[in-house]
Amino acid sequence: MLNRKTSPPVDTKTGNKRQILWKDLKRDKLLYLLLILPITVYVLFYYKPMFGLQIAFKNYNVFQGISESPWVGFEHFKTFFHSPFFGRTLKNTLMLSLYNMLFAFPAPIILALMFNEVQKIKFKKFVQTCTYIPHFISVVIVASLVTSFLSPSSGVINTIISAFGGEKVYFLTKPEYFRTIYTVMGIWQGTGFNSIVYLSVITAIDTSLYEAAMIDGANKWKQITNVTIPSILPTIVMMFIMRLGNILNVGYESIILLYQPATYETADTIGTYIYRVGLENSQYSLATAVGLVNGIVGLLLVILSNTISKRVTEYGLW
């Protein structure tokens, strides 16, 4: 008998998947082309710079370059953990993040719920525009406005205080006022724009749910607590997890524009410490090490919060 060569078995499942993928690519080729730009941005500005993270483990010298700089291992990490600034910067970063969690995070949710209850369209659009505009103002201008409002000589706040017989206060030199000033400034600038996400989810809620609640005798407050909030809960959880992942990444740009040596006690954060060490003192390796610690902690917090959220609420990022 002749030996016939038998072809290897074909994996029909793999073949079907490839056919389906190819059909999707042909059908939605324009949509996939739109992904080229964001993918390019991520590769160039997020993944490619990761090559420079090895600076954290080297005694980096500008003239020697990354490859030729001597390897020092975890020396820079030890320097940061044993420095007198570690405890202060960590505490201030966590405190500012806690202030944002307690006051800044719920603000856009409350504002979106209020917008949803406004019946006059023209008034609603006007108020929305007024609350969105601060987001598009440069943080430098916002910080300048805050400095002007709190000026001890001509600021509006001190003018009102003196009008009621009080003594003028130079708020920006008082450590005890800095966290409140920073939080209020962030709420004013970001609440309106951040409410867009929640408002878009609210407008997508099925109106029949509200009609059923009204038939059952639910007033406005009960409609909000029993229909609106449960419907936007997945979005709230998702935004909370993302915010928790950035708990160590407070807006250091605003802090740099507002703080001064007199307020370092409550204003100096990990971000401002990296700025001073890396850019002002040219200690690039130490600054990279601190930034790497910051990023790793943020990643762990995202994973932990997502795991807890899925177990408790069944909602998560993945």
CATH of the domain at 211: 1.10.3720.10
**What is the rounded average pLDDT for all residues in the chain?**
87
User: Is the torsion defined by CA of 22, 23, 26, 27 positive or negative?
Assistant: negative
Question: What ranges in the chain are assigned the alpha helix state H?
Answer: 12-27, 29-34, 36-42, 65-68, 75-81, 85-99, 106-117, 121-132, 139-149, 156-163, 175-203, 207-215, 220-223, 229-245, 252-258, 264-267, 270-275, 284-312
Q: Is residue 7 part of a domain?
A: no
Predicted local distance difference test score (pLDDT) of residue 104: 92
Predicted local distance difference test score (pLDDT) of residue 2: 46
C-alpha to C-alpha distances, 283 to 76, 150, 249, 263, 276, nearest whole angstrom: 10, 34, 20, 23, 9
C-alpha to C-alpha distances, 12 to 8, 16, 63, 231, 237, nearest whole angstrom: 12, 6, 57, 42, 40
Domain coverage including residue 21: 14-73
- Looking at the fold, whether 62 and 135 belong to one and the same domain comes out as no
- Looking at the fold, whether 23 and 153 belong to one and the same domain comes out as no
Q: Is residue 2 part of a domain?
A: no
- Looking at the fold, whether 239 and 206 belong to one and the same domain comes out as yes
Predicted local distance difference test score (pLDDT) of residue 110: 94
Low-confidence spans in the chain with pLDDT less than 50: 1-2, 5, 10
Domain limit, last residue, from 73, 92, 117: 73
Domain limit, last residue, from 73, 95, 123: 73
Predicted local distance difference test score (pLDDT) of residue 1: 44
Domain limit, last residue, from 27, 52, 73: 73
Predicted local distance difference test score (pLDDT) of residue 112: 93
- Looking at the fold, whether 54 and 102 belong to one and the same domain comes out as no
- Looking at the fold, whether 152 and 61 belong to one and the same domain comes out as no
Predicted local distance difference test score (pLDDT) of residue 9: 52
